[in-house]
Amino acid sequence: MRIKNEHVFCSFEVGSPKIKSVTLKAVYPRYNH
């Protein structure tokens, strides 16, 4: 799980806010507000 989280954070740094939101929702459905 730690590796997947690091990959997500990596994507966050190189992605735009919109992409961050989409990725977050895809990886953490429960964060889908």
The domain ranges of the chain are 2-31
Q: pLDDT exceeding 90 applies to what percent of the chain?
A: 0
Say if pTM beats, i.e. exceeds, 0.75: no
b/e per residue 1-33 (b: at least 16 CB within 10 A): eeeeeeebeeeeeeeeeeebeebeeeeeeeeee
Q: Tokens 């190189």, residue? A: 14
Residue 21 contacts residue 11 (beta carbons within 8 Å): no
pLDDT tens figures, 21-31:
676 677 766 65
